[in-house]
Structure 1
Amino acid sequence: MNDAVAGFSKWSKEQKIDWIAQTYFSNPDEAVSLIKNYWNSDENLQKLHDEFIENTITNFYLPLGIAPNFLINAKYYTVPMAIEESSVVAAAAKSAKFWATRGGFKTTIIGTEKIGQVHFTFNGEIHKLEKFFAETKPKFFSNTEELTKNMRQRGGGISDIELRNKTALMPGYFQLHATFETKDSMGANFINSCLEQFAKTLTEEAENHEAFSKEEKNIRIVMSILSNYVPNCVVRAEVSCPVEDLADKSIDNPKYFAEKFIQAVRIAEVEPFRAVTHNKGIMNGIDAVVLATGNDFRAIEAGVHAYASKSGQYSSLSHAQIEDGIFTFWLEVPLALGTVGGLTSLHPLVKMALQMLEKPSAADLMQVIASVGLAQNFAALRSLTTTGIQEGHMKMHLNNILNQFGATEDERVQIKKHFKTHAVSHSAVVNFIESLRK
């Protein structure tokens, strides 16, 4: 394609598909057929999906898997996980089963505070701005009463508003830093609406403030937006048991295993190159449940990784210790989630996932998701410190390779039998398939 396309968003769905097929594919009919094969046969359901985003041409499917046996605070959960990566669901389920017989997961909500900011510039005497803010602060609350009415009835609302001086970072830069409680909603629209009203109140009141000079009255709003960094919206999940109780069919020396496990965690605490991959494993579990329950996994990812850097160096989200013969493994992670609003009330599979979790509150969901993240991390570290990560992962990946090469049922039986006693690698599987077909 050498030229820009004009008016694309105004084209019909069929026109967009036809243009894509004609422009980028040597066999346009085949491309159109592929696109339409992923449409839902229920027209109303397809229309619902089409309206989630813009310029929709088809659906992009991810597998929805299930990890049962999560014992969290003495209650069993069956957890839905939407993810494309092999072995993630199996690892979560294996860890859940392992810890269910050792007391399960214990979780605690440390805080549920959300954050939003009005970023603005002010060129004048700072003490005047501080005095102005103190006098005006009640109006920020009163002018948003209509916006916050329903949230306040549910026990939420605006918690506090602060004026923050950021001039050491950038000349003339200040913030209204506001904290919110949004109960079972993620709260993005609620927070942003409140912030935009704060900005309006700020500029209107400044224009009428007698102590300000003409220049000082001219407060310039740069932007009003929530923050996805929520260091006070945090949940802790942990597992623990006597060291000897770690014994399992693949752990014949539990003391040695526990010590090596703790060393592996410690490496992730001090070495950023390892910490990134370590935390990615945690996010395999977290993102899969976040996505299955209709929450924003990009926001969660951004906030979690910022939290992992809060000391000034990127570090492990999880920690482990042995104290008085007790092995303890835990993590603390920020999770701004919702179980009402957005996709939670629209997407049929999201509604099913939440029903499977017995219609959790946002706080309940925080605890489930943190537990899954910890389970995922335990599974990865267990593999890394015992058999190695690739043995289990490549066996799970075997099906993908067989699908890629269109293996028949008879070939599958022979291949799986062979690789029960041989190491799985892409080249080894391909070579064996080729030998069978010769």
Structure 2
Amino acid sequence: MNEMKNSSYSGFYKLSPEERLAEAAEFCGLSEEDKAVISSGNSLDMDKADHMIENVIGRFTLPMAVGLNFTINGKDYLIPMVSEEPSVVAAASNAAKMARENGGFYTSNTGAIMIAQIQLIDIPDPNFAKIKIYENKSKIIEICNEKDPTLVKFGGGMEDLEVRVIDTLQGKMVIVHLKVNTLDAMGANAVNTMAEAVAPFLEEITGGKAYLRILSNLAVHRLARARTVIKKETLGGEEIVDKIVTAYAFAAADPFRAATHNKGIMNGIIPVVLATGNDTRAIESGAHAYASISGKYTSLTTWEKNADGDLVGTIELPMAVGLVGGATKIHPTAQVAVKMLGVKSATELGEIIAAVGLAQNMAAIKALATEGIQRGHMSLHARNLATVAGAKGEVMEEIVKKMVSEKNVRLEYAQELLKEYENRK
């Protein structure tokens, strides 16, 4: 990706889809073949689809868009986003535009450590067994890493372990966590294979029975973080900063609000996860579990006012995404989406996704704290209804404007307005 490229566009929405694709292709260095993959609904052919999941009968296409204006760690990005929800891409782009005025987003990560859990039951002396397992750490690491020499060759593999004794409805259980550096893979297959391989040895040294052997999606050692500072002038004054911080305080305190607040974050995150062929359910479950890790469900972001009166925001959440394996390597459009981002590692991809989540959240709480969420939604809903009614081009714009200004956004009214326009002609 060209470092000098600028992801800030004016009037991008006015371009046709073909013109937008041409702009994105130039920015991201895409070939004619890449462009054809994105624009065709048939890029995923039936044979590939049939090998991705079971009982395939067809393909289901969603719109693919680009998030604009993003500057992350001093580099500009166009963000590929796949979603069915109106207003999400526009909101993320708008928030990124506000953030870029002060340097954009800055990110970090904790590396790519995934956890595999092994459940040991029927152990009469669980605390004694726990210490025994720790004594055998080097042997456990050896057994696990024999299972994936390729991962080890590239600098990954099992690095550490943690043993917990937990109380359950069926008595105490010993839970072993294998901590595995999965590098650029999401890592589910790698860690599950290691858990299976080491289970008999753990049974041998504890006298217990190994039951479940599976990764955890609560990837607390695979966190992505992002931060941003948005000038009070950009937002329209310190009063708006205060309103946003007050809206955040509500989400931080109340799980009923936090659920919707975090859903707004995932509105930005999931479209990028989906576009790059990653596992949306793994990211959702990890995010919401992490939001509850204190024992109370709360916000994944924080919003504060700094000493200058500017808005400062942060996000931290598990981000188990990969660049190798899974749909990322099978789905042609997912491969082009990864190419568009120009990322070199899974952790870099995770950081970008976290920054998009932070932008999306800022856009949502700013709208809620100022004009309310319906205004933007109403305009997009009106556009959808005008399209269903059969309106196009300038006529559509006229109908949308009238419906929004009159706060009468209904399909019947869109049809009525279209009929009126046709009669005038």
Q: Normalising by structure 2, report the TM-score.
A: 0.83
**261-270 or 162-171, which deviates more:** 162-171
Moved more, 311-320 or 403-412: 403-412
Structure 2 portions without partners, runs of 5+: 1-39
Structure 1 range deviating more: 96-105 or 170-179: 170-179
Residues 210-229 of structure 1: pairs in structure 2 closer than 5 A: 217=207, 219-229=208-218
CA spacing shift, 1:68–1:199, aligned 2, 3 Å: same
When residues 408 and 73 of structure 1 are mapped into structure 2, their CA distance, relative to the original with a 3 A threshold, is closer
Aligned AA for 1:319? T
CA deviation map 1:369-408 (0-9, x unaligned): 0110011111111111222211111211223212333346
Match among 366, 387, 390 for residue 382 of structure 1: 366
Distance 1:134 1:298, change over 3 A: closer
Alpha-carbon distance in 2 for matches of 1:41, 1:238: 38
Give the Cα separation in 1 of the matches to 2:209 and 2:177.
16
Alignment size in residue pairs = 382
Task: Determine the structure 1 residue equivalent to 2:257.
Answer: 274
Say which of 210, 222, 228 aligns to 1:233: 222
Q: Structure 1: any 5+ residue segments left out of the alignment?
A: 1-38, 207-215
Once the two structures are overlaid, the 10-residue window that deviates more, 428-437 or 157-166, is 428-437
Distance 1:167 1:265, change over 3 A: closer
Greater CA radius of gyration, 1 or 2?
A: 1
Aligned partner of 1:145 in structure 2 is: 145
SS in 2 for 1:185: coil
1:358 equivalenced with 2:342 (yes/no): yes
Contact 2:41 2:61 in 1 (8 A): no
Aligned to 1:101: 101
Amino acid at match of 2:228: V
Q: CA RMSD in A?
A: 2.4
Query: Does the 8 Å contact 1:167/1:174 carry over to 2?
Result: no
Partner residue of 1:194?
A: 194
| Of 231-240 and 407-416, the range deviating more from structure 2 | 407-416
Q: Which moved more, 1:178-187 or 1:94-103?
A: 94-103
The correspondence for 1:392, drawn from 369, 376, 379, is: 376
Contact (CA 8 Å) 2:287, 2:317: kept in 1 or not?
yes
Q: Residue type of the partner of 2:370?
A: T
Question: What's 2:179 paired with?
Answer: 179
In the other structure, the counterpart of 1:5 is: none
Question: Residues 150, 388 of structure 1: CA spacing in aligned structure 2 closer, same or farther, 3 A cutoff?
Answer: same
Structure-2 separation of matches of 1:424 and 1:368: 39
Looking at structure 1, the residues matched to 169 and 106 of structure 2 have their Cα atoms a distance apart, in angstroms, of 41
Q: Which residue of 1 aligns with 2:66?
A: 66
Aligned to 1:143, the other structure's residue is in SS state helix
- Cα deviation, residue 164, structure 1: 2.0
For 2:243, the equivalent position in structure 1 comes to 260
Greater mean alpha carbon deviation, residues 133-142 or residues 287-296: 133-142
CA contact (8 A) 1:401 1:426 kept: yes
Cα displacement (A) at 1:153: 1.9
CA distance in 2, matches of 1:273, 1:191: 35
Shift of 1:310: 1.5
Partner of 1:309: 292
CA contact (8 A) 2:81 2:89 kept: yes
Structure 1 residue 95 displacement after superposition:
1.2
SS in 2 for 1:225: strand
